[in-house]
């Protein structure tokens, strides 16, 4: 007669065996897929990971508006927006590869860990095949690495640091937005024309990844044309009152202040600089000038009157008159009542580019998408002829140099485009020192 006994060890073994048994069918199904989150025949899910809370929430809200508009257009609703002006005619407003486009959203909170958590949840729980979004380079770099590991495509939203497609580039990640190097290369000639070659610059730089690469890019570009950098001071990202950083600028012999700040930092530092009378100063016999390398209309709105006459660069602006930009502004403006921001534009374009790549490749497999996007040349999406370079997955296109408008005609009319810098002038080799140290690696289809 056998004796039945329960031991703790025995119970654990049994639990593990039963657990493994229950998980088995799932493992087989996963193994049967060629790649992560292969969609069924009915619909496909995209993951929009944007800051819905935190300091960049307004930018995130605009990104989300653009994504929803893109989904509408991909599914054949609305006026079609830039689908009609896009040089590729693969998309016909019938979803992607015949599947209706659906989406889930996540909140990055502009924090890398929160952004990774929400992206992970969208991939694992919601079955998102592609993740896109972000309003910060720190977030973009973190989520891009996660997508590489998970085997899904990452289409970066607003991220301007060189590192996103430089030392932190990944095979599964793609960036349409321009970068710090391009800002420097585009701004330098305009600054030379406006302010001459004999200038002394003082940099205030946000103390994080994007700040460093922007400072380096602007310093390199301006020093090459003869400017001297007298001081470069890092400012904490959480700083709100910049007066103690601005005051020493007036005490130095600098005649230009470069604010490598974005978002709330830029609004506050620029406001403080104007309050301290920097723009009314004469130094070295010249007018004191302020430069903001990366401009956005939403930021310009925050800084109010203070942006007037100040140079900066931007990826896109709603006043552009090409067919694509006009179609997008009409579509977005009719739906929401105001023109789109550059963040909205790049997110809309990225969604279309992903859908188009899948359509052309005939597959959702990330490696097929990577192949379709690498070296892809397109037009009609608001930036003129554009190349998705194969070596680093960075888009190369014209860059806009803008200036705060002196006499705005409306609350949206804050910046004026002073120069469209041709793409040749902002192109650099993939192994340029500012981008060195990164490897794309190989595409990861996951599963």
Residue 350 CB, nearest approach to other proteins (Å): 22
Q: Is 276 in the site for other proteins (CB under 8 A)?
A: yes
Q: Is 336 in the site for other proteins (CB under 8 A)?
A: no
Other C-beta atoms within 10 Å of 191: how many? 25
Strands 395-396 and 282-283: unpaired
Residue 306 CB, nearest approach to other proteins (Å): 8
Helical axes 264-275 vs 243-251, angle rounded to 10°: 50
Q: Which helix (H) or strand (E) holds 123?
A: helix 112-124
Q: Is 287 in the site for other proteins (CB under 8 A)?
A: no
Q: CB-based contacts of 80: which residues, under 8 Å, 6+ apart?
A: 73, 93, 327, 331
What is the distance between the alpha carbons of residues 112 and 294, in angstroms, rounded to a whole number? 21
Q: Which of 82, 188, 206, 267 binds other proteins (CB under 8 A)?
A: 267
Q: Which helix (H) or strand (E) holds 314?
A: strand 311-314
What is the distance between the alpha carbons of residues 206 and 200, in angstroms, rounded to a whole number? 20
The separation between the first and the last C-alpha atoms of the chain, rounded to the nearest angstrom, is 49
Residue 224 gets which letter from DSSP? H
Residue 320 CB, nearest approach to other proteins (Å): 12
Q: Is 405 in the site for other proteins (CB under 8 A)?
A: no
Q: Which of 58, 79, 126, 323 binds other proteins (CB under 8 A)?
A: 58
Instruction: Give, as ranges, the residues between 316 and 335 that touch other proteins (CB under 8 A).
Output: 318-319, 329-330, 333-334
Q: Which of 66, 143, 206, 299 binds other proteins (CB under 8 A)?
A: 299
**Among 95-103, 179-187, 362-370, 405-413, the segment contacting other proteins (CB under 8 A):** 405-413
Strands 100-107 and 43-50: parallel
Residue 331 CB, nearest approach to other proteins (Å): 10
Q: Which of 100, 111, 167, 281 binds other proteins (CB under 8 A)?
A: 281
Q: Which helix (H) or strand (E) holds 227?
A: none
Write out the DSSP string of 392-412.
T-BEE--EEEEEE-SS-SSTT
If the CB atoms of residues 151 and 312 are measured against other proteins, the closer one turns out to be: 312
Binding residues for other proteins, rule: CB under 8 A, are 53-58, 61, 231, 233-234, 236, 238, 240-241, 243-245, 247-248, 250-251, 263-264, 267-268, 271-272, 275-277, 280-281, 298-299, 301-306, 318-319, 329-330, 333-334, 339, 410, 412-413
């Amino acid at each position: 007669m056998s004796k039945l006994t329960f031991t703790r060890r025995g119970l654990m073994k049994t639990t593990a065996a039963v657990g493994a048994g229950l998980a088995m069918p799932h493992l087989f199904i996963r193994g049967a897929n060629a790649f992560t989150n292969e969609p069924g025949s009915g619909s496909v899910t995209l993951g929009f990971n944007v800051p819905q809370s935190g300091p960049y929430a307004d930018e995130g809200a605009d990104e989300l508006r653009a994504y929803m508009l893109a989904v509408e257009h991909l599914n054949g609703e609305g006026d079609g927006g830039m689908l009609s002006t896009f040089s590729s005619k693969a998309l016909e407003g019938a979803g992607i590869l015949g599947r209706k486009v659906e989406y889930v959203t996540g909140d990055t909170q502009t924090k890398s860990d929160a952004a990774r958590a929400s992206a992970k949840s969208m991939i694992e729980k919601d079955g998102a095949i592609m993740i896109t979004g972000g309003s910060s380079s720190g977030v973009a770099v973190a989520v891009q690495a996660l997508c590489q590991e998970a085997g899904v495509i990452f289409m970066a939203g607003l991220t301007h640091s060189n590192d996103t497609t430089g030392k932190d580039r990944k095979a599964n990640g793609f960036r349409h937005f321009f970068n710090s190097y391009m800002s420097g290369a585009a701004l330098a000639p305009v600054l030379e024309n406006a302010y001459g070659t004999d200038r002394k610059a003082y940099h205030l730089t946000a103390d994080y990844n994007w700040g460093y690469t922007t400072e380096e890019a602007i310093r390199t570009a301006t020093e090459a044309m003869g400017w001297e950098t007298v001081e470069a001071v890092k400012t904490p990202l959480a700083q709100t009152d910049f007066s103690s950083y601005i005051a020493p600028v007036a005490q130095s012999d600098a005649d230009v202040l470069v604010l490598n700040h974005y978002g709330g930092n830029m609004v506050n530092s620029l406001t403080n600089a104007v309050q301290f009378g920097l723009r009314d100063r004469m130094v070295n016999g010249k007018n004191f000038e302020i430069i903001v390398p990366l401009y956005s209309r939403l930021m310009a709105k925050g800084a109010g009157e203070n942006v007037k006459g100040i140079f900066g660069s931007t990826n896109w602006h709603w006043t552009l008159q090409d067919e694509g930009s006009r179609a997008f502004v009409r579509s977005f403006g009719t739906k929401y009542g105001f023109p789109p921001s550059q963040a909205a534009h790049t997110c809309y374009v990225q969604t279309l580019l992903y859908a188009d790549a899948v359509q052309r490749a005939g597959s959702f497999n990330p490696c097929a998408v990577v192949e379709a996007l690498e070296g892809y040349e397109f037009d009609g999406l608001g930036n003129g002829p554009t190349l998705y370079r194969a070596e680093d997955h960075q888009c190369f296109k014209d860059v806009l140099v803008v200036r705060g408008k002196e006499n705005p005609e409306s609350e949206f009319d804050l910046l004026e485009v002073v120069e469209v810098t041709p793409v040749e002038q902002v192109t650099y080799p993939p192994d340029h020192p500012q981008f060195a140290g990164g490897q794309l690696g190989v595409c990861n289809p996951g599963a």
